[in-house]
Amino acid sequence: MFKYILSAVFLLFIACTLKSQDPVFSQPFLSPIYLNPAATGAGDYDLRISGIYRRQWWSIPSQISYSAVSVDKFMPSLHGGFGLLGTHSTEGYLKKTGVYGSYAYTICSGTLSPAENGDEPRWFASGGLQFGMVQRRIDYSKLVFADQLDIDGVIPASVSSADKAVNSGKWYPDFSAGLFFNYNWNDNNRLLLGGSAHHINRPDESLTNSADSFRSQLPVRWTGNVMYTYTNPEQTWSYSLAGIVYTQGRQSSFQVGTEVTQNQYDISLGLWYRGSVNFREYDVFTVTLSINLAGRSGDGYKVRGGVAHDAPIGQNRYSYTTGSSELGFVWDQSTYDQDAGNACKPRINSKSACPIQ
């Protein structure tokens, strides 16, 4: 009986105005277009397919989960890329699905004046735009209403006469934009800076038509990131240092850490810390492991997979939630001669970020 009471309480909760927050992935560069539209077309090769799945808090029975799948293509003649992104989330009785299209344009020193840098690009800048349609709905199959109950519990095959939320299942537009800037001051050292703004139009996610539905406008998600990468194929190890800051409404969080790569086997191990800016609301340690499953540089294709596990710390939080886990992959494929007419090809991934010829 207690779970039915919880269902009724939950229904009252969703009828009120809500302030939604976007999910945050622990391996953001396994879903680069989700992180920033400016990453569109910036795979190791010209065609890239990526996917990531996150299971939040294993011990919570509502099965909170998030996923994102994308495909993007770099067009050398246009110095930019086009991409498609699909997202889906399940948060108890709430489902959310989004379909997005993105475009990014890239300029770099190799296209402006190759003679000034020895015919090799030293920097690139990409700007991206994203447009999508999003649906947010209630899964009524998981709810039980008061008129479906009697003294014995749930009435078999009963159908509730309760009114459904008028905006459940409604599609609404969603706009985003972003920038990336990368600089290589020599063959081994690279610095990547990025920033993005999601939900620029602040879409209304209200499930009802109440007079104060403006309070259900989705806040803009501001994201800033920095990554330094040291890569030397002649040495055994390479490493990256990275940080990401997210701000959405009154919530602000950050993620910092490092990833070390064994160059011979192309295996990367990362250790990260993520928490709220005020250090009071939550904090987790994350371990990530990624490995090149197929293909090497120059083969014309590459498949990389990654796993991650978050462990909340403090006040026995891990024993309550058993943490969160992620599984992701990135498949890159060359569909044309990489040396033909491609003076400025950006590359943004978990290991490095640099223009390649």
Q: Which two tokens stand for residue 78?
A: 């246009």
Would residue 49 count as lying in a domain? yes
- What pLDDT, on a 0 to 100 scale, did the predictor assign at position 259? 92
Q: Which two tokens stand for residue 201?
A: 């139009």
Give me the domain span that covers residue 158.
37-333
Give the separation between CA 243 and CA 257, rounded to whole angstroms: 7
- 235 pLDDT higher than 60: yes
pLDDT-derived band of residue 337, with 50, 70 and 90 as boundaries?
A: low
pLDDT (tens digit, 9 = 90+) per residue, 80-115? 899 999 999 998 888 999 999 999 999 887 544 444
**pTM assigned to the model:** 0.83
Stretch 70-86: mean pLDDT: 91
Would residue 90 count as lying in a domain? yes
* 15-24, 118-127, 204-213, 219-228: segment of lowest average pLDDT: 15-24
* 63-67, 74-78, 156-160, 320-324: segment of lowest average pLDDT: 156-160
What's the distance, CA 95 to chain centroid?
17
- What pLDDT, on a 0 to 100 scale, did the predictor assign at position 313? 82
pLDDT-derived band of residue 338, with 50, 70 and 90 as boundaries?
A: low
Would residue 12 count as lying in a domain? no
Would residue 284 count as lying in a domain? yes
Question: Cβ distance 325 to 309 under 8 Å?
Answer: yes
Would residue 281 count as lying in a domain? yes
Q: Total domain count for the chain?
A: 1
* 22-31, 42-51, 102-111, 146-155: segment of lowest average pLDDT: 146-155
Question: Cβ distance 104 to 41 under 8 Å?
Answer: yes
CATH number assigned to the domain comprising residue 150? 2.40.160.40
pLDDT (tens digit, 9 = 90+) per residue, 246-281? 999 888 889 999 999 988 888 999 999 988 776 566
